[in-house]
Amino acid sequence: DSGVTQTPKHLITATGQRVTLRCSPRSGDLSVYWYQQSLDQGLQFLIQYYNGEERAKGNILERFSAQQFPDLHSELNLSSLELGDSALYFCASSVSPGGSYEQYFGPGTRLTVT
Amino acid sequence: GENVEQHPSTLSVQEGDSAVIKCTYSDSASNYFPWYKQELGKRPQLIIDIRSNVGEKKDQRIAVTLNKTAKHFSLHITETQPEDSAVYFCAASIGNAGNMLTFGGGTRLMVKP
């Protein structure tokens, strides 16, 4: 167990809908990262938050957004869902920049868009 | 941006043999290189990592080597066991601690008993 929690574990929804994925980092970790894992794209970085502020952005679609709350949990919002958004979504956490490099992954949310 | 390539995509070895997975990266500013093991349907699990100021690191049966000049790093698993069967990902990170990881495409390792 990495100490990173994600909910829900599974999500099945229809095209055009909106969903919210939730992540709680390890205790003390200030950075949260979101990654998407699909069969043909591998693990792709989406976005990083550090202590409530957006720190880095990857190839995240405009239909996707995220935020980190004062208690450091993070939410990833996916809207106008398409079939191609079906994937495993992982969040990872690490300590503040200048501290440990290691990123620890949560168990993931499997999103299926039908 | 950074690009990480990983080879081979699949690797089959006999139990007890060694396995080597290789990765190359494109950006010389990358300074942190972790390896993750992912079993089917589970989260990527950090198994070993190396920083750019170190050439080699070992932890029991696994070791990682880094060649900064050639911009490549490798994972070595000795005395493989069936429970080593999984997908292994290399990754690279640029800059200070807390930066995003760019992953290689993964290697599916199968250890035959």
- Residues of chain B found within 8 Å of residue A96, distances taken between Cβ atoms: 97-98
What is residue B26's predicted lDDT score, i.e. its pLDDT?
95
Pairwise pLDDT comparison (A40 vs B96), residue with the higher score: A40
Q: What is the mean pLDDT of chain B?
A: 93
If you average pLDDT over residues B52-77, what whole number do you get? 94
Question: In this predicted structure, what is the pLDDT of residue A96?
Answer: 57
Counts for chain B of helices (H) and strands (E), in that order: 0, 11
Least confident of A20-24, A79-83, B51-55: B51-55
CB contact under 8 A, A108 and B43: yes
- Which of A29, A101, A109 is the best mutation test for B, with the most CBs of B within 10 A? A101
The separation between CA A52 and the C-alpha centre of its own chain, rounded to angstroms, equals 14
Q: How far apart are CA B7 and CA A113, in angstroms?
A: 31
Q: Which of residues 12-31 of B touch A (CB under 8 A)?
A: none
The answer for residues whose C-beta is within 8 angstroms of residue A40's C-beta and 6 or more apart is none
A90 interaction partners in chain B (CB closer than 8 Å): 43-44
Q: Report the pLDDT value the prediction gives residue A1, as an integer from 0 to 100.
A: 83
pLDDT-derived band at B108 (thresholds 50, 70, 90) equals very high
Segment A34-47 shows an average pLDDT of 89
> pLDDT tens digits, residue range B65-99?
999 999 999 999 999 999 999 999 999 997 665 57
Residue B56 pLDDT = 94
Residue carrying structure tokens 């599974």:
A10
Nearest CA in chain B to A5: B43
Q: What's the pLDDT band for A97 if we cut at 50, 70, 90?
A: low
